[in-house]
Copies of this chain bind each other. A is one copy, B any other.
Amino acid sequence: MLQYSQFSINGSLWISKGNELFIGPAQFRLIKQVINDGSILAASQNLHISYQQAWNIVDKMNRLSPLPLVTRYKGGNDGGGCRIDNFGMKVFHQFEENEERLNKLIDEINLNFNLCSF
């Protein structure tokens, strides 16, 4: 019997600055985790990547961004951490919304996608 059911359509979105990747799915996941955890260290641990990798991703995004996305702060009750700036939150929500639109399209395509019917 031919195995068709293992086939599926997938997709992804990313924001480019010229030819450079600004924010793609990996950057988006990291921002989401930093929003949740309030620090790059905790976010990197929860995503199972090294702190250095996480920091490099944040640093590259910040350098490409016209306004700061993520800033570190010191002090406060928790001794400091990371904050997603207003601009970063707007970019994050825009990305999230667009990814939802993409996922809706992918779901629609997968509903009608069946190699078996060819």
Contact = CB atoms under 8 A, between A and B. Distances in A.
A70 to B, nearest CB: 15
A79 interface: no
Nearest to A104: B105
Interface string A13-35: 11111100010000000000000
A11 interface: yes
Interface string A78-118: 00000000010011001000100110011001000101001
A28 B53 CA distance: 32
Interface of A: 2-4, 6-18, 22, 66-67, 87, 90-91, 94, 98, 101-102, 105-106, 109, 113, 115, 118
